[in-house]
Structure 1
C-alpha cells in the first residue's frame, strides 16, 4: 500500500513556488506525516496559516514550523515570497436582502459582516438578531442558512454549542435573601471557572462511554482534556447564578404561577470545542479559498471526510456542553437537597439540518442566536444585573426560526476598561441587590445593550413566559482571558 504523501503540487497550491522553500516545506510536512505527528489536513492548514502570518510560528521556541517561518520572514525582508491573494470562489455580485431586527441598535461592522455572509456562493438565506455585534467571520447574532452539504466552522463559532440552562426549584424567591450565605457557599463549592480549570469529582460521566469519542483521531486526542473539564465553566460572559424567577399562569404546565428560586448557567464546550473549532476552521480555510473579506467564512463539504469529521465533532461538542450544565446543576441540586421542578436548556453557536418554509433543505448556522421554532423553549439572558427571560419560539420563517441569544455587547471589552467607572458599576450592583463573585469591568451591565429594548425588538419572534432576575452571580476571576 502506497504511503500517504504531501505532494509538491499541493504545496504549490499554497503559493510555495520558490524551489528552495518548496524543498524545505516538503521535508518538514512529509516528516510530520511520516512520524504521525499530525494528520495531512492539519499539516496543510498549519502551512497555510504560516504563509498568511509567519510571525506566531517564528516566535514559538522549538516549534515544528519555526525554521520555515524564519525562512519566510528572511525572504520577505529581501522582497521575496510576498504572499499572493488567491481565491477559488467568488462572492455573489448582488447582495441579497436579509431581515434585521432592532436595526437602530446594531453597529455598522455587524451589518457589513452579514452582507458579506449572504454573498457567499453557498448562502441561501440570512437574518440578523437584535443583539448582533461584530464578531469573527459571521457576526454574533447572525443566522445563516447554507446549502445542505456545506458547513462553516467560523459561522458556528469558537465556543461550539455554548449553552444556557435554567433549573426552577420549588422554593420561594426570597430564599435568595433568607439563605444567601448557603447559596453563595454552594456556588463556591460546586462551580469551577477559568481557561484551564478542571474538576476531580463527577455526578455523571456516562457521556464518555459513547462510541463517538473514538470516531476520529482529533476527538480521541481531546478526550482526556474534555473529561478533566466536565462540569466546569469558561471565562468571559460565562456564569452560574441564583436568581428570582417570576412565571405567569399557564406558562409551563408543571409550574404554577408565582415567584421561585432558580439557577441559571451559561457555558459551552470548553477546551474541547475550542480545539475542534481551531482545527477545522484552518482546514476549511485551506480547502476553500475566498476573497479576503470573506476569508473566515470558508466552508467544509459534508460529503467529504473533513466535513463529516467536523459534523461528528460539533454534535459531540453539543452533547458535551449539555453534560457540562447537567453536571453543574445536578451537583448544586444535591447540595441544596432538592431536585428542580423543571429544567430548560438550549444552545447557540451551532449548526442544524433544517428545512426552510419553502421546503428547501439547508444547514442553519446560529452564531449567538437562540433556536425559536414554533413552541421551542429557550433562555435569553440580560447581564449580571438585568433580567433574563424564559421564552417560547413563534416559528417566524423570516428569522429562520431564530431569536437573540442575549442582550448583546454595547461596547467592546477594551472600550469597557477604558470608559467605564468602577464606582458606577459598584453602585449599580448595590442598587440591584447583586452579590458578585469574580468578573471584571468588561462584563459590567453598562457594557451590554438594554435587554428590554432587545426583547421589544423581537416580539414577533418569541413569547415571554417568565422573567429571571439575577441576585447571586459567579463568574471567572478578573483579568481571565475571555473565551466566549
Structure 2
C-alpha cells in the first residue's frame, strides 16, 4: 500500500502518500477534512506541501460544494508534452541558439505578445464564454472594455514562477518538448474575485470553519453556478494557452533544429482544477490542487525540477487516491528560504549540463528547493507506472 500516513481523528480521514510532510501542510489537510461536505476521505499526494488556500498536492472530494481557494488562482495550470522525430545526436553542439529561439517566440513573466498570435477560431470560442462571465459579474471586468484585451495577447505565453519550457531527452535518446503553464492573468483575476466573493457570502459563518480560505459556494446557488462556469472557462483557456504555446514552440524550433515532426498525440493535463466525477458511490466535485488525473491507462506528466528527471506516466486508476497522482516533485522550502540558503555557484552546479539561465532571477527554482523526485515517484508506484523518463537539456523559466 502506498498510503504512508493516515489522519483519523477528523470527521473523515486523510490518506497521505508520503512520510515527508511539514506540520503546516498536515494542519491544512485536517482543516479540509473537518468541512461538512467532504466525501469519504481526503487524499494527499507524495509531493504534498503547504499552500495558499489549500494544501498543494491535495485531492478534495466535495458533495454539493466547491471551495474556490482550493482550486486557487492559477486555474487550470498544467503540463503539455510531445515527442519529436529527432534524436539526441541530431541536436546542435551548442544549445544556446535553441534557448534563444524559444525566448524570442514565447513571452515570459508579465510579458505578452504584441499582436494576436492564437488562431482566430480559438479566440472566438473563448470569447463567447467570457462574455457570460462579464455579463453576470461586471465588477470582475474580464473583458477590460475590449474583447481583444490582455487575455488574447497572453494566449501562447508562459508566465512566471515555476512555469517553464524544456527540451528533453528520454531514455532512448529521443527528443521531447515539455512545458508548464496555466490561465495567466485572466485566470488569476477570476480566481481572486470568486475567492473573495465566497468569503463575503460566508461572512456570518467564517468563525465556524477552521480557515477563512476554505469558504465555499453551495450547489444550487447563483454564485456556485457562476463560479463553475468561470472556472471551467479558465481551465479551457489554460489548455488552449498550452496548445498555442506548443504550436509557437514547434514553429520556432524548426528554424534551428534539423527537420522534424511531432510523433503521436500531445499530452495535455491540468493539475489545478475541479471536475465532476464519481467516487465511492457518489457524484462529487473533485478538486485536484497540485495533482493530476491518473485514471487507468491515462497518460500524464510529472515534472521534476530544472536539474532533475521528469516522467511520462500511465495511470493505474487507484480508487483510494481518487484516480490521481502527484503533479511534480513539490517544494521542500519556500522561495525566500531558497534565496537565502543557496548561491549562484550552487545553481551552476545543480544545473550543470542544462542550457538555462543561471542568475539570481531563478535562484528560488534551484533543484535543491524541491523534494527528491525519485522518492516522490517511489511513493506512488501504486498510482502510476512510468512510461518514459526525461532529462532536460534546455530549460526556459518564467
1:4-53 Cα offsets, whole Å, 9 max, x none, are xxxxxxxxxxxxxxxxxxxxxxxxxxxxxxxxxxxxxxxxxxxxxxxxxx
1:344 aligns with 2:258: no
Structure 2: runs of 5 or more not aligned? 1-7, 135-139, 255-259
How far apart in 2 are the matches of 1:279 and 1:164?
25
How far apart in 1 are the matches of 2:12 and 2:315?
25
What is the deviation of 1:96?
Answer: 2.1
Residues 12-23 of structure 1: pairs in structure 2 closer than 5 A: none
- Tell me if the contact between 2:313 and 2:387 (Cα under 8 Å) persists in the aligned partners: yes
Q: 2:179 aligns with which of 265, 284, 293?
A: 265
Shift of the 453–94 alpha-carbon distance from structure 1 to 2, 3 Å rule, reads closer
1:243 aligns with 2:160: no
What is the deviation of 1:376?
Answer: 1.3
Match in the other structure for 2:51:
135
Match in the other structure for 1:314:
231
Match in the other structure for 1:172:
87
What is the deviation of 1:295?
Answer: 0.9
What is the deviation of 1:183?
Answer: 1.8
Match in the other structure for 2:326:
404
Q: 2:306 aligns with which of 384, 387, 403?
A: 384
Question: Comparing 204-213 with 464-473, which one deviates more in the overlay?
Answer: 204-213
Match in the other structure for 1:105:
20
How far apart in 2 are the matches of 1:175 and 1:381?
24
1:305 aligns with 2:217: no
Match in the other structure for 2:356:
436
Question: Comparing 168-177 with 237-246, which one deviates more in the overlay?
Answer: 168-177
Residues 50-65 of structure 1: pairs in structure 2 closer than 5 A: none
What is the deviation of 1:213?
Answer: 2.1
What's the secondary structure of 2:173's corresponding residue? strand
How far apart in 2 are the matches of 1:177 and 1:450?
30
Shift of the 236–176 alpha-carbon distance from structure 1 to 2, 3 Å rule, reads farther
Q: 1:355 aligns with which of 274, 278, 294?
A: 278
Match in the other structure for 1:231:
156
What is the deviation of 1:335?
Answer: 2.8
What's the secondary structure of 1:474's corresponding residue? strand
Shift of the 274–203 alpha-carbon distance from structure 1 to 2, 3 Å rule, reads closer
What is the deviation of 1:344?
Answer: 0.8
Structure having greater relative contact order (Cα 8 Å, sep ≥ 6): 2
What's the secondary structure of 1:361's corresponding residue? strand
- Tell me if the contact between 1:146 and 1:364 (Cα under 8 Å) persists in the aligned partners: yes
How far apart in 2 are the matches of 1:177 and 1:245?
17
What's the secondary structure of 2:81's corresponding residue? strand
How far apart in 1 are the matches of 2:48 and 2:249?
32
What is the deviation of 1:266?
Answer: 0.4
What is the deviation of 1:227?
Answer: 0.7
How far apart in 2 are the matches of 1:145 and 1:348?
15
How far apart in 2 are the matches of 1:243 and 1:114?
35
How far apart in 1 are the matches of 2:387 and 2:119?
30
How far apart in 2 are the matches of 1:185 and 1:418?
29
What is the deviation of 1:219?
Answer: 6.8
How far apart in 2 are the matches of 1:127 and 1:117?
11
Q: 1:393 aligns with which of 315, 322, 326?
A: 315
- Tell me if the contact between 2:99 and 2:356 (Cα under 8 Å) persists in the aligned partners: no
Select the structure that is richer in strand. Answer: 2
Q: 1:330 aligns with which of 234, 247, 254?
A: 247
Q: Give the number of aligned pairs.
A: 369
Q: Could you tell me the TM-score, scaled by structure 2's length?
A: 0.88
Q: 1:417 aligns with which of 327, 335, 339?
A: 339
How far apart in 2 are the matches of 1:275 and 1:339?
37
What's the secondary structure of 1:449's corresponding residue? coil
Q: Could you tell me the TM-score, scaled by structure 1's length?
A: 0.73
What is the deviation of 1:220?
Answer: 4.7
Structure 1: runs of 5 or more not aligned? 1-91, 247-257, 477-484
